[in-house]
């Protein structure tokens, strides 16, 4: 088939002629007796409407205006509901402006032609009408296609969104379980550090909760400094373990004041800083804390041990621990209500000598608040309760020890679901012969 034939094929189609004069219908049929057109004829509007109902897809409707029962305009108007997309043409035998206006407004006609027609003109009009009809059909097809594709796109988008949501949920679930695992590991790690530090304090009862106090003061002091969470964790771990190297020191020497030690005793004692570092060296997560442990007896003026480091050569964490360590030791030996101020003055006297003058105010502020809180807690009304009667928010007023003397919670600790669970577990394994002393806040 040539291009021209294909074009004609497109232009051809189904056409319905309506006229009450049978002769006219005959000549119409003759005129369009062509393969490209499928011609239908009707002698009245009524018959034509029936044809439209029976046949689908009528491209063109050509109707005479003057017919006995139903005028052309009336028929064309009715045909719109049955065949809304057909292209309508009105033929009329005489000039009638009203019929023309009606044909456009009511009949929705494409063209208005006069009888008698010229065959060429009618053919051209019909062809133009088919072009118009095909355009409308193509437009309809494309619109439907666009709508369908839009719908498909919407569905794909929805599917994609669901998939993304599912993936996000899966990711967030695995993140959650990773986080829980991490938290568990982290808590185990912290528990191990606490257990180490408790072991040491079990031997030297005079230093009970010493490490815990230092850890808390140093943690509070570090809040005003720009340290990362990791650095603060290291600092707290080192505070708990700073004297872990003392585990190997004989009991007698452990209870001798530093100023009263013999040369030999002092040499042994001073090794605890290096031994402490060596003890944790094999644990990846504690290597940096080990560095702070090694240097917690260095002095700002360079007269400390083990390496005689000065000023900023001493790690900042070790400088903080040194001040808090000194405060706690002196505070234990002070009596009376002004103990905090007295110890504060002793620390200030060492500012620039043993201690970094820039860190002294930070540690003092934290220490004064911490020891004042501890004192006020022990003054509040105290109750002795069994572990199962304890509640979240109560404050431990005396150190809690297990039956065999392991320090479980330091005085001043606020109870929460976590430490309560640990406490209850310990009380089953190694119960004390008394309750836990608490105050309510």
Contact footprint for Fe ion (CB under 5 A): 243, 325
Angle ∠(49,50,52) on CA atoms, nearest 5: 65
Instruction: Give the residue with the Cβ less far from Fe ion, 64 or 356.
Output: 356
Q: What is the CA radius of gyration of the chain?
A: 50
Residue-by-residue DSSP string for 194-246 = HHHHHHHHHH-GGGTTHHHHHHHHHHHHHTTS---HHHHHHHHHHHHHTTGGG
Instruction: Give the residue with the Cβ less far from Fe ion, 201 or 288.
Output: 201
CA 164 vs CA 153, 167, 168, 235: distances in Å: 16, 5, 6, 42
CB of 231 to Fe ion, least distance (A): 21
CB of 188 to Fe ion, least distance (A): 25
Instruction: Give the residue with the Cβ less far from Fe ion, 288 or 325.
Output: 325
Instruction: Give the residue with the Cβ less far from Fe ion, 233 or 243.
Output: 243
**Cα(208)–Cα(329) distance, rounded to whole angstroms?**
11
Instruction: Give the residue with the Cβ less far from Fe ion, 51 or 286.
Output: 286
CB of 206 to Fe ion, least distance (A): 12
CB of 379 to Fe ion, least distance (A): 27
Instruction: Give the residue with the Cβ less far from Fe ion, 64 or 325.
Output: 325
Q: In what order do the strands lie in the sheet with 395-396?
A: 383-385, 436-439, 395-396
Instruction: Give the residue with the Cβ less far from Fe ion, 102 or 243.
Output: 243
Q: Which residue has the tokens 């010229």?
A: 118
Q: Which residue has the tokens 């439907």?
A: 144
Instruction: Give the residue with the Cβ less far from Fe ion, 293 or 420.
Output: 293
And the tokens for 273? 């800083």
CB of 166 to Fe ion, least distance (A): 54
**Cα(272)–Cα(281) distance, rounded to whole angstroms?**
14
CB of 272 to Fe ion, least distance (A): 6
Q: Is the dihedral of CA 78, 84, 86, 87 positive or negative?
A: positive
8 A C-beta contact, residue 235 and residue 214 = no
And the tokens for 194? 């606490």
Q: Which residue has the tokens 């504060």?
A: 344
8 A C-beta contact, residue 203 and residue 175 = no
CB of 418 to Fe ion, least distance (A): 27
Instruction: Give the residue with the Cβ less far from Fe ion, 18 or 249.
Output: 249
CB of 388 to Fe ion, least distance (A): 35
**Cα(339)–Cα(310) distance, rounded to whole angstroms?**
30
CB of 300 to Fe ion, least distance (A): 16
Going by DSSP bridges, is the β-strand pair 407-409/37-42 parallel, antiparallel, or unpaired? Answer: unpaired
**Inter-helix orientation angle 360-379/210-222, to 10°:** 130
Instruction: Give the residue with the Cβ less far from Fe ion, 306 or 435.
Output: 306
Closest to 424 in 3D by CA, of 414, 409, 439, 413 = 409
**Cα(61)–Cα(72) distance, rounded to whole angstroms?**
11
CA 122 vs CA 24, 113, 322, 338: distances in Å: 13, 8, 111, 120
CB of 215 to Fe ion, least distance (A): 11
């Amino acid at each position: 088939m040539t291009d021209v034939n294909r074009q004609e094929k497109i232009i051809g189609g189904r056409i319905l002629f309506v006229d009450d004069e049978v002769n006219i219908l005959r000549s119409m049929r003759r005129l369009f007796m062509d393969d490209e057109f499928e011609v239908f004829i009707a002698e009245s509007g009524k018959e034509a409407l029936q044809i439209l109902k029976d046949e689908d897809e009528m491209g063109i409707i050509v109707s005479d205006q003057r017919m006995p029962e139903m005028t052309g305009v009336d028929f064309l108007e009715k045909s719109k509901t049955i065949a809304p997309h057909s292209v309508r043409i009105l033929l009329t035998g005489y000039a009638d402006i009203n019929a023309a206006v009606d044909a456009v407004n009511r009949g929705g006609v494409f063209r208005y032609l006069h009888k008698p027609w010229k065959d060429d003109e009618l053919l051209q009009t019909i062809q133009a009408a088919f072009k118009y009809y095909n355009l409308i059909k193509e437009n309809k097809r494309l619109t439907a296609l666009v709508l369908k594709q839009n719908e498909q796109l919407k569905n794909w988008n929805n599917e994609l969104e669901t998939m993304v949501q599912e993936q996000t949920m899966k990711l967030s679930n695995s993140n959650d379980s990773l986080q829980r695992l991490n938290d568990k590991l982290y808590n185990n790690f912290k528990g191990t550090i606490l257990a180490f530090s408790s072991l040491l304090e079990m031997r030297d009862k005079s230093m009970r909760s010493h490490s815990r106090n230092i850890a808390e003061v140093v943690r509070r002091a570090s809040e005003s400094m720009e340290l990362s969470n990791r650095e603060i964790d290291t600092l707290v771990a080192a505070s708990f373990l700073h004297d872990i190297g003392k585990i190997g020191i004989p009991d007698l020497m452990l209870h001798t004041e530093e100023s009263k030690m013999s040369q030999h005793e002092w040499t042994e004692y001073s090794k605890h800083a290096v031994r402490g570092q060596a003890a944790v060296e094999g644990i990846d997560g504690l290597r940096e804390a080990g560095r702070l442990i090694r240097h917690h007896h260095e002095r700002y003026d360079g007269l400390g041990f083990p390496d005689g480091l000065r000023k900023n050569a001493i790690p900042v964490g070790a400088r903080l621990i040194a001040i808090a360590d000194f405060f706690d030791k002196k505070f234990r030996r002070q009596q009376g209500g002004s103990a905090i101020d007295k110890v504060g003055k002793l620390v200030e006297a060492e500012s620039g000598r043993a201690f970094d003058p820039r860190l002294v105010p930070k540690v003092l502020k934290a220490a004064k608040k911490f020891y004042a809180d501890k004192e006020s807690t022990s003054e509040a009304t105290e109750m002795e309760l069994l572990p199962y009667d304890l509640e979240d928010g109560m404050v431990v007023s005396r150190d809690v020890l297990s039956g065999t003397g392991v320090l479980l919670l330091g005085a001043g600790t606020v109870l929460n679901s976590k430490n309560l669970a640990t406490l209850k577990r310990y009380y089953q394994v190694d119960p004390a012969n008394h309750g836990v002393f608490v105050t309510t806040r």
